[in-house]
Structure 1
Amino acid sequence: MNVLLRSTTALSMMVGLAAPAFADMQAAQDFLDAEIGDVSTLTREEQEAEMQWFIDAAAEFEGMDINVVSETITTHEYEAQVLAPAFSAITGINLTHDLIGEGDVVERLQVQMQSGQNVYDAFVNDSDLIGTHWRYGQARNLTEWMAGDGADVTSPTLDLDDFIGTQFTTGPDGNLYQLPDQQFANLYWFRYDWFNDEQTKADFQEEYGYELGVPVNWAAYEDIAAFFTGRDMSYIEGEPTSVWGNMDYGKKDPSLGWRYTDAWMSMAGMGDKGEPNGLPVDEWGIRVNEQSQPVGACVDRGGATNSPAAVYAVDKAIEWLQNYSPPQAAGMTFSEAGPVPGQGDIAQQMFMYTTFVAPLVDSPAVMNDDGTPKWRLAPSPHGVYWEEGMKVGYQDVGSWTILKSTPTDRAKAAWLYAQFVTSKTVDVKKADVGLTFIRDSTINSEHFTERAPRLGGLVEFYRSPDRVRWSPTGTNVPDYPKLAQLWWQNIGDAMSGAKSSQEALDQLCSDMEDVMMRLERAGVQGDQGPALNEEESAEYWFDQPGAPKPALENEDEEPQTVSYDELVQSWQ
């Protein structure tokens, strides 16, 4: 039985949780007994004190019906099925937590922003929208909120300094616009047991002339993908007679857009140097000026979305999907493809969203009998256009966002729930279920020191300084909802073969600039809105420093690998 099911079962046995009629400490104590126990960084006395604060702060909202929404991942399932009913029982606020697809979350957020009607009282939406929220001014500025209207419902134990992702939810003005609720990175995933098998290592060395290990660059990744695809691994007891060297997804769906905007292009080397995001050209290929105004996406305006490095990035993803992945992968979405490595016939995956580590630990085909994994996580390799100092990977920071169109009393009640599900009382247990860390105290807790050997390097990664180098979409993107939908629609044409990668990216950057032109003309984002450059020749921009970069005469490179165990030591 998995952790979430056990938790739901325990809660269903608790008196009063199903239909709360009042808020009192007994409901909190029942919750702490049945669900939290000592899986917390707080003592029982501290837990009860934190729960008492929620009871007191919620008194004026007792009986109010509040609706919030998030995408469907394990962490949010736990919140909706376990923490939401507990919150209702403890506070008397009738909280409904809806779970829908991420694309639907963005669409409903956009509807509320455009209509001014209160669709939801709070959204968990990615910090990828920070540029949108900062520019439009429709999201509550949480810095001002906590000091003003929301002061009386802001927990004294919130401890913002303990959150590891607030740098990604803070605008260029220094104000916090979103509160992190869950975080996960995209990392390289591989079968550690296969890579360390003596026969497998010898066969790889003989065929390619270098040691099998964690690939440092895409050339090595491609060699490893070719080596394992179709390979009979049954000389290792219990392993398949035919395996795949790559896993990915390619269905024309909103999640196909994330596959590319979630730093794939910068991992290839498309953008500029800079952390957390390339400047002046970011991982979407959007260039900004010194005032942070977007000035172009196409090469002719100084952007890089259709540059040679971008074409290389898309071409490689398609090539590997077609040549080294299970045939059904091309028709899969993000959520469908994520659990596939758990079936036991995938050797490596370049782009593993670590939100899928939770189901992997419940997959017997990739776990040892003692509960340790047969796989490990490592930094993803980079492409031939990549240079030191460029962004190395993506980190999703799903964050609570409260729009100004939500009435103040409803915003206060929703803010209480946002703090409850991120509180120190519940955070270790929530992270135990979903493995999407948001608090430094949780990552460094004794609980996760004990659990670390069973999580394949995830804890070591999040305890390392490297964790801040994986970052979400930054502030170059002026309107995430409008621009994100263009990616999956155009990239989908390249994936299907309807267009070449160059043709698809030419159309994509043109469509992006059309949206930015409309924003510029409308003036809805004020001095932070787009101000597009005049068009120049591609050669003009290629002659400038940084991105966009001209095509390399030879996109082949010397493959490089590294020992996983040496790599992990560098994280200590």
Structure 2
Amino acid sequence: MLKQNTLQVLAVASLLFLARGTAVNAQESAAKHWINTEFQPSTLTTAEQEREMQWFINAAKPYRDLTIRVTSERIPTHIYESETLAKAFTEITGIRVIHEVTGEGDVLHKMSVQNTTGHNLYDAYLTDSDLIGTYFRQNYVEPISDFIKGEGKDVTLPSLELQDFIGLDFTTSPDGKIYQLPDQQFANLYWYRQDWFNRPELQRLFKSLYGYELAVPQNWQAYEDIAEFFSEKVRRIDGKRIYGHMDYAKAHPSLGWRISDAWLSMAGVGDKGLPNGLPVDEWGIRVEDCRPVGASTERGGALNSPAAVYAVEKYVEWLKYAPASVRDIYFSQSLAWAANGVIAQQIFWYSADIDSFIDKGSTLINEDGTPKWRVAPSPVGKYWQVGMKSGYQDTGAWTFLKSTPLARRQAAWLYAQFVVSKTVSLKKFLTSYNPVRLSDLNSAEVSRRAPYLGGLIEFYRSRARDVWTPTGHNVPDYPHMAKYWWRHIATVVSGKKPAQQALDSLAITFDKHLARLQHSDIKRCAPKLNPPRGTDVWLAQPGAPKAQIPQTVKGKTLPYEEAIRAWQL
């Protein structure tokens, strides 16, 4: 009987061994299939890709048959991950992935609920690096740099190469810790119809009206002149009603992003410094010794300063040069508007929506496939100075909460690394042109495609990718403070309040929020409000907040080739 039982045990063990072997063989076959059919081109050779995938197969063994849940905002890159890469990862590793795409606000809400309740809703979140000032202060996010040296060491890809990630500075705290792993980036750039700008009859008419050349605007006055020119002087091209400006202005949470995502920095509200101004950043928040001390000018901030008022007034004023419907649309509804072929220029063009601008059937594409449009450095307001950030760049990054059980965090970390691995990253980049790795940007395949992308690759291959930056360290509670923007800006758009009054109210709201955080359980770099002083005292000091510049600045433009040379300096 004992012998029979022993034989049965051995038989079961043999079957389990064979099953495991069969599973591994199936995963290896799946890896080869995905490499040959989907993961091309790559900066790796096929043999290198196979070795990288074999590492994932081996590292995933303890988590095989586990189901993990991750969530991200709804943009093309994350849709590709959820629909294609999640399936590939499951087949290759045996770890099932539910990758949910939703609105950005919903992602932040779910993360907040998990942080508040301690209930593990998701095993990883893809959130913007705009939250870096929150993460390093509030101690609920596991720093990546700690994790890969400790509990995540055995599940960290040897070929991850953090130094290859172009957005790593944006996810790094002042003490040098990396809190998030970048997944994708897209920039807000100046966009224009180069074919229209190059028409000799339009060039002659513009110069006769404004006294300088119709070309890439270098400052806001030139942008305004060009907007007026196309909307009110030219009005129609090729039989179509055309406009010199495009934006969105519906009272909606995304209206807040429109202003908070570096619009004030382009005007020159903050101080010099990269990736964000110091001591005053583009949100107008002053920081001293890493502690936020105020947003209002009476506390040394710049949120209701003359420069901020100028910025918001120009944003609202320029709506008259855009289609009338822009007051009733929000972010996602505005993205493809310029692709309709009736917009001459757009000061805030989101490169994340490039697909609709490179479609071969588009009116924006020449017969040879090259674009009729170009992107260039964003024009800046009259308070802007050399050494300040020049615009906004969104960096979506993998974020892991300490409340997530370790095994689930480790398995989700494997998935995060998979979707940015060198095996996968170049093909992912080519699906939406949101880069993450320098090696991909420098590849021969990207060089081949660069002429068809209107200057986007030139931007990302230059130092400009470090000057267009996300929200930074000065904002101590992004999820809650970001909500204040749209409600106050909407009162200006609707005409209920002048910009000064609305920004005074917003600055007071920010100061009150900082005061609450000052008395919270934040132990590191918590706010400590400055006592209020006369605004004239602060405006008289160097840097932000800056005193009013009353004079009008003359418009300035540069030819395209000269304008983008700034990206190479």
Pick the TM interval, shorter chain.
Answer: over 0.9
Check if 1:26 corresponds to 2:63. no
Check if 1:561 corresponds to 2:547. no
* Contact 1:103–1:255 under 8 Å retained in 2: no
Residue 439 of structure 1 aligns with which residue? 437
Check if 1:424 corresponds to 2:426. no
* Contact 1:79–1:421 under 8 Å retained in 2: yes
* Contact 1:287–1:297 under 8 Å retained in 2: yes
* Contact 1:22–1:92 under 8 Å retained in 2: no
Residue 323 of structure 2 aligns with which residue? 326
Check if 1:198 corresponds to 2:195. no
Of residues 113, 117, 134, the one that matches 2:136 is 134
The 2-side partners of 1:369 and 1:329 are apart by: 31
Please provide the CA RMSD for this pair: 1.5
Matches within 5 A, 1:159-170: 159-170=161-172
Of residues 24, 36, 40, the one that matches 2:39 is 36
* Contact 1:276–1:469 under 8 Å retained in 2: yes
* Contact 2:219–2:380 under 8 Å retained in 1: yes
Q: Which amino acid in 1 is paired with 2:560?
A: Y
Check if 1:244 corresponds to 2:243. yes
Residue 150 of structure 1 aligns with which residue? 152
Residue 189 of structure 2 aligns with which residue? 187
Specify whether residues 199 and 498 from structure 1 end up closer, same or farther in structure 2 by C-alpha distance, changes over 3 A only: same
Residue 11 of structure 1 aligns with which residue? none
Specify whether residues 508 and 254 from structure 1 end up closer, same or farther in structure 2 by C-alpha distance, changes over 3 A only: same
How far 1:246 sits from its partner (Å)? Answer: 0.4
Matches within 5 A, 1:370-409: 370-409=368-407
Q: Which amino acid in 2 is paired with 1:313?
A: A
Specify whether residues 499 and 569 from structure 1 end up closer, same or farther in structure 2 by C-alpha distance, changes over 3 A only: closer
Residue 338 of structure 2 aligns with which residue? 341
How far 1:296 sits from its partner (Å)? Answer: 0.1
Residue 257 of structure 1 aligns with which residue? 256
How far 1:529 sits from its partner (Å)? Answer: 0.6
How far 1:527 sits from its partner (Å)? Answer: 3.6
Of residues 528, 548, 551, the one that matches 1:551 is 548
1:548 match: secondary structure = coil
1:229 match: secondary structure = helix
How far 1:328 sits from its partner (Å)? Answer: 1.2
Q: Which amino acid in 1 is paired with 2:329?
A: M
How far 1:241 sits from its partner (Å)? Answer: 2.5
* Contact 1:230–1:243 under 8 Å retained in 2: no
Residue 363 of structure 2 aligns with which residue? 365
How far 1:564 sits from its partner (Å)? Answer: 0.3
1:414 match: secondary structure = helix
How far 1:157 sits from its partner (Å)? Answer: 0.7
1:295 match: secondary structure = strand
How far 1:369 sits from its partner (Å)? Answer: 2.1
Check if 1:516 corresponds to 2:514. yes
1:366 match: secondary structure = coil
Structure 1 range deviating more: 121-130 or 486-495: 486-495
Residue 499 of structure 1 aligns with which residue? 497
Flag the structure with larger Rg. Answer: 2
The 1-side partners of 2:112 and 2:448 are apart by: 42
Cα-to-partner distance string for 1:520-549 (whole Å, 9 max, x where unaligned): 112x22141100000001111111111111
1:400 match: secondary structure = strand
The 2-side partners of 1:520 and 1:510 are apart by: 15
How far 1:231 sits from its partner (Å)? Answer: 5.6
How far 1:149 sits from its partner (Å)? Answer: 0.3
Cα-to-partner distance string for 1:300-337 (whole Å, 9 max, x where unaligned): 1111111111111011001111x111111111111110
Q: Which amino acid in 2 is paired with 1:566?
A: E
Q: Which amino acid in 1 is paired with 2:347?
A: M
* Contact 2:235–2:243 under 8 Å retained in 1: no
* Contact 1:153–1:412 under 8 Å retained in 2: yes
Cα-to-partner distance string for 1:342-374 (whole Å, 9 max, x where unaligned): 000000000112111232112602111221111
Matches within 5 A, 1:199-214: 199-214=201-216
Residue 12 of structure 2 aligns with which residue? none
Residue 73 of structure 1 aligns with which residue? 75
* Contact 1:66–1:95 under 8 Å retained in 2: yes
Structure 1 range deviating more: 64-73 or 487-496: 487-496
The 1-side partners of 2:180 and 2:340 are apart by: 36
Q: Give the TM-score normalised by structure 1.
A: 0.93
Residue 12 of structure 1 aligns with which residue? none
Residue 225 of structure 1 aligns with which residue? 227
What runs of 5+ residues in structure 1 fail to find an aligned partner? 1-19
The 1-side partners of 2:242 and 2:95 are apart by: 51
* Contact 1:21–1:92 under 8 Å retained in 2: no
* Contact 1:220–1:561 under 8 Å retained in 2: yes
The 2-side partners of 1:514 and 1:570 are apart by: 40
Residue 6 of structure 2 aligns with which residue? none
Residue 287 of structure 2 aligns with which residue? 288
How far 1:28 sits from its partner (Å)? Answer: 1.1
Cα-to-partner distance string for 1:131-187 (whole Å, 9 max, x where unaligned): 100001110011110011001110001010111111110111111100000011111
* Contact 1:287–1:294 under 8 Å retained in 2: yes
* Contact 2:264–2:311 under 8 Å retained in 1: yes
The 1-side partners of 2:486 and 2:113 are apart by: 20
Q: Which amino acid in 2 is paired with 1:26?
A: S
How far 1:240 sits from its partner (Å)? Answer: 4.3
Structure 1 range deviating more: 330-339 or 418-427: 330-339
How far 1:109 sits from its partner (Å)? Answer: 1.7
Alignment: residue pair count? 545
The 2-side partners of 1:227 and 1:25 are apart by: 61
* Contact 1:231–1:241 under 8 Å retained in 2: no
Specify whether residues 532 and 23 from structure 1 end up closer, same or farther in structure 2 by C-alpha distance, changes over 3 A only: farther
Residue 115 of structure 2 aligns with which residue? 113
Residue 528 of structure 1 aligns with which residue? 525
What runs of 5+ residues in structure 2 fail to find an aligned partner? 1-22
Q: Give the TM-score normalised by structure 2.
A: 0.94
Cα-to-partner distance string for 1:14-73 (whole Å, 9 max, x where unaligned): xxxxxx999611111111122123x11000001111111111111111111111111111
1:421 match: secondary structure = helix
How far 1:568 sits from its partner (Å)? Answer: 3.1
Matches within 5 A, 1:303-318: 303-318=301-316
How far 1:570 sits from its partner (Å)? Answer: 4.7
The 1-side partners of 2:198 and 2:538 are apart by: 46
Cα-to-partner distance string for 1:432-478 (whole Å, 9 max, x where unaligned): 01111110000000001000000000001111122211111110000
The 2-side partners of 1:214 and 1:273 are apart by: 24
